[in-house]
Each structure stands twice: as C-alpha cells, then as structure tokens.
C-alpha cells in the first residue's frame, strides 16, 4: 500500500467515525441498533463491543433507532448468552413502534437479585405498538415483562419468547395487546404464586390460531384478567395450552367483562376457569367459553363465584356471569340428547369425565357444534355416543354469559326391559312385571301355585306389611299384584313369574322417612350414580340375596359407605332403601 493510499483510507475512516460513531451510515438509516455486549452497564451504542442492552434502549428512546437486535457472534443461537440484570432495573422502552428482536440469536435476560421477597422486574415497555420477540427471561421475582403501551406484541410464531421462574411472566396493561407463541414455565417449589400472563388492558388477544398458542406450565395461575375497580373488556384467550397449574388455569377476576375463552387445552389444573364474584362498579360478567378441552382436573372445570361448588341452577342476579343457570339434560341416548335451558341460549354438549356420584364431573371434549334452544328453552341434538358414557352441557345466554357445567347425564340404551322373574326356594324379594294387575284368590293363580305359600308387601316408612297366605284366608290384606311393584314371595320350589314390559323412561319412586322397598326401573349403574338424587338424605341400602337367604346391607346408618361388593344398581331389581326424610328417587335414563 502506498503512503497516499494509506492516508486516504485513514481520512475515510475518520469521516465515518465523525458522522456515525463507528457504524456505517446504511446501518443507521435502517433504524437498527445491535447489542454487542452481555454486560449490564451504561455502554455506548453503536459500538462493536460495548453496546449494552441498557445503552441500546436509551438509543431507541432518543430516536436514534427503532429496532434492537443482538449480535449472533456475541449471542449465539446454539449457546445463548446471559445478560445478568442487577438490582437497578433496565430503563423502560418508551419509544412508540419500537422492537426488541432476539430472533436468530440466543439472548437470556436473567435476574441477578438473590432476593425473592423484594420484587425484581425484568423489562418494562411503555411505548405504543412495541414488539418483543425471540428473548428468554429467567428468575425475576416481580414481572419479567411489562407490556404497558397500547397495541404491544409479545412473541410471534417465528420468534417466540421464553419465560421461566417469573413472579409474573407477562403483564399486559395496555389496550389491544397481543401475546402469542410464548413458552412460560415455573418451578412451583420456588415460585408457588407465579402467574403466567396478567391482563389488565382491554381488547387484548392471548394466543390465537395454530402456532400462535402460548404454552403455560407449572404456574399457580395460567392467565388472570383483572382491572380491579375498572372494567377490562373484550379480552380473547384462544388456543393456549395449560398444564400443571396449581390453582386456576384462567382466572377472571374483578372487572373482567366480555372475555372470550375458546379452543384452549386445560390439563392438570386446580380449576379450569374461575369467574370471581361480581362486585360493582366492575362486574364480572358476559364471559363466554366455548370449544375448550379439559383433562385431569383436580376441581371444577368452570367455577362461577370461586366457591369450589357446582352452584344451584337458578340464583338471582347480579352475580358472576349473571348466575346463568346450567342446562338440564332430560334424556340422553346413543343417537341424541334432549334438555332444557334458558330460551334462545346456545348449548354446547361435552363428553364427561365421570366419577361415581358426579359431584365434580366436567366436559372433556365437545361432541358437536353448539345448538340453540327454542323460545321455550328446549334443545335437542344428534349425537354418536355409546350406552354407559356420560354427558354434560354448557349454556351461554344472549349477553354472552356462560354457565357452569351441568349435572351429568348417563347415556342409556333407550329402554329398560323387565322380563320373567325366577323365584328360588325360600324368601325372594322381587318385582311383579305382568302386563296387568293380578288378582289373588285362594290359590296363587298359576300352575306352580302350590310352590308359593306366602306373599308380602311392605308399607313404606312403617314396619307394617300387607300379606297373602296360601294356607288360610284369615288376615289376608293383599288382594292383587300390581305391575312394577315389589313383593316378598315365599317359595318351596323354583318358580317362574311370567310377564314383562319395556319402558323408555325412568320411573321415579317417592320414598318415606325410614325403610322403603323399591323397584329400580332405570339405567343400571354404580349405586352412587343411580341414587344420586337422594344426596344428603340416603342412610342405607340393602339387597336380599335369595341364594344365601341373607341381606347384603351397606351404609353405616348415618351416611352411605359404599363398598366394592355393591358396585351396580340393576334395572328391574328390588332393594330396600332407608332415607332420613321424604324424597323422590329419580333413576337414571334407561
């Protein structure tokens, strides 16, 4: 190189340094400032090795650039580099339309604070229209990322953010924010009260179709929507994945109004969706739920009022979601379902996760598109399900309020067929299923009448019996056998009682306080399901075993104590049931 050439090169370099601080004019014109240092210090930007994140934020805030990127040589994607944020918080990003883009690089913002008791925040964004993508946040005991400006975008399918062990991973305080494709996780042992996403700005979108879904794992609360005393309206929570959430996957707290929760997957949550009690001046109402799936829940799938209980079907408003009543399923067969709800309400039918008794049953997957009830509140829908499966339903009224899940309904085969009854030698506790009343004369009216020597019928709620005796007419108080009624037969040899009938509906039985004989004409099921309508009033259940001439009695005299030996209430079978007060048994749909 000649002396003249070298001199010209030095002049050119000096001109660049004077006009652009060390970076080519093309880079400045593009509005990009590149972080070249992992230090948490003031730094200088632009600079080939000393442009820190703090300095880059200051450069964007002053209008020197609009986008912050990270040098892949310093922040390699394969081995992410850590920016250890000390006790002094990062400066807020105040510029409108600014972007922090970690895509193509490996960037971790990690809290350097050792204290979990003093909240330590990560990044705060106050400018409108900001975009934060492609970053990882770890260990901030406060909020990892505040999105306070309107129209903020946090994450994208092409450049998701990752959050781990944050007190609150993402706080969306500005209106119309979008949170998409973020991976949020927490260790419950170190952060038992962690929140995935906290929304206090209206018209936000959490998730979205396809790859826009957020994944939230291990936090106490997945997404919380609240404005405190101010309303937060029009938030959409869509297509997100929730897993291992110790409390509520979605918590609609004070002020949440008009939130839509649809197409999300809730797995292993304490509660799926909680709707807090409605309190003026910021009621919690018009929150709609549709198309969500639920599995492995430890509580209710939808809890209006945050009380942990399936609420009575009708309560006076105001209240959470207007206390819209859940539907009543009146009939469920393999081909269709019928029921009642509020007039004009939209009804969504789910296959249920069922446990005997059905106290915490919830819908796992929706079976079909929603149907709309008619002006009288009746609804029906075609289904393709199997006998023995269980269904529940949700109702959403015209204002957008969605109910809790209904009480479960068992899918029946469509009919109960009660046929001939076989008597064994000795006492038999069975029902008569003839097609018409059978008048008792001096002899039991059949070819086998010598084998039946006595017939008794209990007077429910008393120790009294009506009786028919073959040997004498004295004291006979039982004159006829009625179809579908229960009797005691004393036989000296095997006897078949001919007859039979089929019904397509359950037959309710009114029970009196004390012991009652009954014929169970409904769908065969676990006793806790078959007798669920006696909840709180059932004391004991007993079934006579004609083969051993002994009772099988269950219950401790104060409450049901079900055992493995009594696992089925059989259609057309006869039982003795003791109840504490008058009540009607409503058998399951055949």
DSSP 388-405: T-EEEEEEE-TTS-B-PP
pLDDT(7) > 50: no
Q: Give how far Cα 142 sits from Cα of 159, 193, 216, 380, 538, Å.
A: 24, 11, 17, 50, 51
Half-sphere exposure of 6 (CA within 13 A, CB side): 3
Distance of CA 585 to the CA centre of its chain: 29
Mean local confidence (pLDDT), 383-406: 94
Express each pLDDT in 36-56 by its tens digit. Answer: 999 999 999 999 999 999 999
Question: In 332-384, which residue ranges form alpha helices assigned H by DSSP?
Answer: none
Within-domain flag for 183: no
Residue positions counted in the chain: 590
**How would you classify the pairing of strands 485-491 and 538-545?**
unpaired
C-alpha 532/C-alpha 356 separation (Å) is 9
Can you give the pLDDT at residue 335?
87
Q: What does the pLDDT average to over 21-29? A: 36
> How far apart are alpha carbons 427 and 546 in whole angstroms?
6
Q: Are 482 and 519 in contact (CB under 8 A)?
A: no
How does pLDDT run across 512-532, given as a tens digit for each residue? 999 999 999 998 888 888 998
Q: What pLDDT does 445 receive?
A: 66
| pLDDT > 70 in the chain, percent | 90
Task: Give me the mean pLDDT over the 112-127 stretch.
Answer: 82
Residue 125 has pLDDT above 90, yes or no: yes
333 forms bridges with which residues in the sheet? 336
Closest CA to 291 of 267, 271, 266: 266
Among the residue ranges 246-250, 442-446, 493-497, 562-566, the one predicted with the least confidence is: 562-566
pLDDT tops 70 at residue 364: yes
- Residue 11 located in a structural domain: no
Q: What's CA 42's distance to the chain center, in Å?
A: 48
Please give the backbone phi and psi of residue 282, each rounded to the nearest 5 degrees, phi first: -125, 80
- Asked if residue 198 belongs to a domain, the reply is no
**Mean pLDDT, range 354-359, rounded to an integer:** 84
CB atoms within 10 A of CB 443: 10
Alpha carbon distance 474, 460 (integer Å): 23
Residue 21 scores a pLDDT above 60: no
Per-residue pLDDT, 568: 81
pLDDT beyond 90 at 85: yes
Q: What is the pLDDT of residue 357?
A: 80
Let me know if residue 521 belongs to a domain: yes
Global pTM exceeds 0.95: no
Q: Is residue 496 part of a domain?
A: yes
CA 167/CA 575 separation, integer angstroms: 57
Three-state DSSP at 414 gives coil
Are 95 and 63 a contacting pair, CB within 8 Å?
Answer: yes
For residue 215, the cross-strand partners are 183, 241
pLDDT confidence of 189, banded at 50, 70, 90? confident
Instruction: Write down the pLDDT at residue 398.
Output: 96
CA 104 to chain centre: 37
**Which tokens sit at 66?**
């609009």
Query: Could you give phi then psi for residue 65, rounded to 5 degrees?
Result: -160, 170
pLDDT by residue (tens digit) across 61-70? Answer: 999 899 999 9
**Mean pLDDT for the stretch of residues 472-484:** 89
**pLDDT, position 9:** 33
> Is position 581 within any domain?
yes
- Calculate the average pLDDT of the chain: 88
Do the beta carbons of residue 167 and residue 143 sit within 8 Å? yes
| Confidence band of 366 (pLDDT split at 50, 70, 90) | very high
Distance CA(355)–CA(390), nearest Å, equals 10
- What residue numbers bound the domain in which 472 lies? 414-590
Least confident of 64-73, 307-316, 403-412: 307-316
Share of the chain above pLDDT 90, in %: 66
What pLDDT, on the 0 to 100 scale, is given for residue 25? 34
On the question of pLDDT at 559 being above 50, the answer is: no
The beta strand positions in 437-484, using DSSP E, are 438-439, 452-458, 465-469, 480-481
Determine the longest span between alpha carbons in the chain, in angstroms. 142
Distances (CA, A) of 7 to 4, 107, 197, 330: 5, 41, 59, 95
In a domain? residue 279: no
| pLDDT of the residue at 36 | 98
At 64 the pLDDT is 86
Q: Which of 16-20, 141-145, 476-480, 501-505 has the lowest mean pLDDT?
A: 16-20
For residue 564, give both structure tokens. Answer: 């493995």
| More confident: 222 or 188 | 222
Contact call for residues 91 and 61 (beta carbons, < 8 A): yes
Q: Where are any strands of DSSP class E within 62-209? A: 67-70, 81-85, 99-101, 107-111, 123-125, 131-133, 136-138, 143-147, 153-154, 162-164, 168-172, 178-179, 183-185, 195-199, 205-207
CA 510/CA 524 separation, integer angstroms: 19
At 370, phi and psi to the nearest 5?
-60, 155
Structural domains in the chain (count): 1
| Residue 533 included in any domain | yes
Q: Which residues contact residue 11 at a Cβ distance below 8 angstroms, ignoring those fewer than 6 apart?
A: none
């Amino acid at each position: 190189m000649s002396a003249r050439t070298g001199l010209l090169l030095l002049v050119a370099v000096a001109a660049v340094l004077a006009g652009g601080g060390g970076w080519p004019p093309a880079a400045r014109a593009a509005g990009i400032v590149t972080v070249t240092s992992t230090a948490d210090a003031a730094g200088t930007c632009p600079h080939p090795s000393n442009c820190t994140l703090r300095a880059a934020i200051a450069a964007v805030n002053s209008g020197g650039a609009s986008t912050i990127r990270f040098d892949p040589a310093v922040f390699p994607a394969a081995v992410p580099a850590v920016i250890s944020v000390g006790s002094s918080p990062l400066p807020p990003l105040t510029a409108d339309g600014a972007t922090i883009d970690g895509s193509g690089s490996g960037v971790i913002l990690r809290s350097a604070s050792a204290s979990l008791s003093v909240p330590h925040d990560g990044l705060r964004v106050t400018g409108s229209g900001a975009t934060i993508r492609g970053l990882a946040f770890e260990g901030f005991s406060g909020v990892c990322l505040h999105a306070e400006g309107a129209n903020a975008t946090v994450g994208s399918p092409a450049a998701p953010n990752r959050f781990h062990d944050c007190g609150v991973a993402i706080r969306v305080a500005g209106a119309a924010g979008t949170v998409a494709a973020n991976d949020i996780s927490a260790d419950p042992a170190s952060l038992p009260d962690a929140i995935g996403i906290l929304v206090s700005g209206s018209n936000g979108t959490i998730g979205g179709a396809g790859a826009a879904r957020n994944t939230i794992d291990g936090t106490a609360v997945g997404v919380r929507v609240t404005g405190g005393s101010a309303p937060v309206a029009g938030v959409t929570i869509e297509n997100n994945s929730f897993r291992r959430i110790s409390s509520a996957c979605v918590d609609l707290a004070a002020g949440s109004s008009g939130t839509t929760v649809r197409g999300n997957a809730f797995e292993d949550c304490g509660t799926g969706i909680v709707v807090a009690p409605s309190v003026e001046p910021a009621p919690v109402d018009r929150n709609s739920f549709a198309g969500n799936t639920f599995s492995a829940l430890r509580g209710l799938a939808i809890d209006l009022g945050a009380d942990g209980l399936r609420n009575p079907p009708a309560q006076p408003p105001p209240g959470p979601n207007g206390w819209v009543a859940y539907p009543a399923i009146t009939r469920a067969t393999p081909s269709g379902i019928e029921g009642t709800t509020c007039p004009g309400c939209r009804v969504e039918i789910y296959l249920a996760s069922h446990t005997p008794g059905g106290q915490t049953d919830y819908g796992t997957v929706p079976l079909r598109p929603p149907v709309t009830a008619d002006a009288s509140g009746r609804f029906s829908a075609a289904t393709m399900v199997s006998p023995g499966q269980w269904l529940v339903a949700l109702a959403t009224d015209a204002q957008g309020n969605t109910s809790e899940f209904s009480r479960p309904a068992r899918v029946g085969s469509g009919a109960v067929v009660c046929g001939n009854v076989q008597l064994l030698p000795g006492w038999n506790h069975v029902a008569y299923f003839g097609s018409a009343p059978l008048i008792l004369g001096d002899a039991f009216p059949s070819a086998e009448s010598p084998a039946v020597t006595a017939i008794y019928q209990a007077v429910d709620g008393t120790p009294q019996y009506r009786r028919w005796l073959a040997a004498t007419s004295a004291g006979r108080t039982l004159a006829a056998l009625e179809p579908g009624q229960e009797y005691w037969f004393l036989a000296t040899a095997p006897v078949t009682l001919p007859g039979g009938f089929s019904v397509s509906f359950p037959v309710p039985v009114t029970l009196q306080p004390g012991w009652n004989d009954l014929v169970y004409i409904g769908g065969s099921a676990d006793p806790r399901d078959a007798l669920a309508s006696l909840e709180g009033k059932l004391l004991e259940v007993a079934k006579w075993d004609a083969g051993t001439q002994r009772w099988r009695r269950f219950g401790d005299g104060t409450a049901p104590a079900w055992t493995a030996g009594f696992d089925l209430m059989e259609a057309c079978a006869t039982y003795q049931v003791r109840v504490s007060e008058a009540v009607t048994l409503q058998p399951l749909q055949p």
